[in-house]
Amino acid sequence: MTIKEAHIDAVDIFDPMDPQLLKAPFAAYRRLRDQDPVAYLAPLDVWAVSRYADVRSVLAAPDAFSAARAFGRHAILTDSRRPGLQLNLRFSGDSGGVVSSTDGEDHARLRRMVARLMSKPRLDAVEAGVRAHVARILDALRDRSAFDVVDDLAKPVATKAIGDIIGLGDDTARSLAAWADLTARALDPGDELALAAAAPGMMLSNLTGARTVTSALDARVAGLPEGTGSGLVEAWRAADSQTAREETILSVLQLFQAGYETIVSALAHIVAGSVADRPRWAALAANPATLAGLIDEGTRLASPVRATFRTAVGRQQIGGTAVPDGARIMILIGSANRDERVFADPDRMRPERATPHVAFGAGPHRCLGRFLAQMESRHVLGELAAATRSVSALGGERVAANILKAGYDHLPVAVEWHR
């Protein structure tokens, strides 16, 4: 039986509108799991779900917990304590949605449209280019005794990889990376871009991103014979309505954003968790199994997507707690991945661990890009391990977090290269 501290509201344990807490939420997550695992956060009118079993059950039940209602046209998160704050969770347009903001057949149709981009043949086709790009980046860094893992390594690799997967030129990919960095700030309750007054500027940024994608898709259609492009290119070629065009543009934007942000966060966390352990670091280059386990554990601990949302369809039960029809559910993936009921010694990186985590989600919305993320991580970490004698933290690291995601903004390291 869960025991709740007397006179403690759930939002006093975990307040997702506290920007400092979002950067280091793990102690608060644990208190939620122990004291109030399905917690009502009254100022936000949100229910927070923190235990692994409950998180998996909600994600696996799309008919009971809707993504379309959670991320649809009116998905604005507000805080009764701060009237000027307005976090826009909307992942859909006026007439079309994307994979993460749809349910049922619409979700299946849109997922099919992007799935080919993440297929094994497509990943195999771009893998050599990703590895060569990693080698070029590291070669350019060899005359430096220190670099920033985020700005100098993770972001350039992620930008190039997801851009190549989608079929974007390098200039277009770099432009969308800047757009993704900006939109991440708009979901940070401590950033001025999260204020309602910033909404017109964010709309202009989103419009610029949409125009960039439109130009890129037009160029791909013009340059490829009919039937030879990706699902997105062929969907754009066939688009005969505003809804179809909107869905394709939004799908490109979301796919790029997810593929870029997730890998930047995961790579930085894995490096940060490994640099002090030279024996493990050296083993990465020689033992693919060790590397795969380290990547998996680093992804679990990082949980680049810390939270997602669903809306209850009808009155529902979560872990024995009744939630009303229309309840907005905040699913704390980052908490589930450190639930001591499932993971022994949950805050420690253990590459041999076999328990499946939910960093890539679960159920029908499970992340399509997980194999791309693993492939990028494998080449970045393997090449870095092989090229260096040591990598050590310099201090001055800076964490960035918002209501949904978290990662390092800067991670400076000192490095000694093999010569």
Write out pLDDT tens, residues 312-347.
999 999 999 999 999 999 999 999 999 999 999 999
- For the chain, what are the domain ranges? 10-417
* Mean of pLDDT values over 365-386: 88
* Percent of the chain predicted with pLDDT > 90: 54
3-class secondary structure per residue, 316-369: EEECCEEECCCCEEEEEHHHHCCCCCCCCCCCCCCCCCCCCCCCCCCHHHCCCC
- What separation, in Å, do the N-terminal and C-terminal C-alpha atoms of the chain show? 60
Q: Does the domain spanning 10-417 belong to CATH 1.10.630.10?
A: yes
Going by pLDDT thresholds of 50, 70 and 90, the confidence category of residue 4 is very low
* pLDDT at 6 exceeding the cut of 60: no
Nearest to 86 by CA among 189, 224, 209, 181: 189
Question: Is the pLDDT confidence value at 95 over 90?
Answer: no
What is the pLDDT, as a whole number, of residue 191?
92
Res. 138: pLDDT tops 60: yes
Question: Quick check: 287 and 382 in contact, CB under 8 A?
Answer: no
Q: What is the pLDDT of residue 7?
A: 47
What is the structure's pLDDT at 284?
A: 65
What would the pLDDT profile of 170-192 be if each residue is shown by its tens digit? Answer: 999 999 999 999 999 999 999 99
The structure tokens listed for 164 are 């190549």
Of residues 75 and 32, more confidence is placed in 32
- Among residues 70, 72, 67, which one has the least CA distance to residue 111? 67
Strands, E assignment, 2-129: 38-41, 46-49, 65-66, 76-79, 82-88
**Residue 311: band (very low, low, confident or very high) from pLDDT cuts 50, 70, 90:** very high
Token pair belonging to 15: 């307040």
- Give the tokens for residue 352: 């041999």
310 exposure class (CB count in 10 Å sphere: 0-12, 13-18, 19+): buried
Fill in the DSSP letter of residue 153.
I
What's the confidence (pLDDT) of residue 277? 64
Q: Are 157 and 134 in contact, with CB atoms under 8 Å apart?
A: yes
Q: What is 242-279 written as a DSSP string?
A: HHHHHHHHHHHHHHHHHHHHHHHHHHHHHHHTTTT-HH
Residue count (the chain): 419
Distance CA 338, CA 303 (A): 10
Give the pLDDT score at 298.
Answer: 87
Query: Does residue 285 have a pLDDT over 70?
Result: no
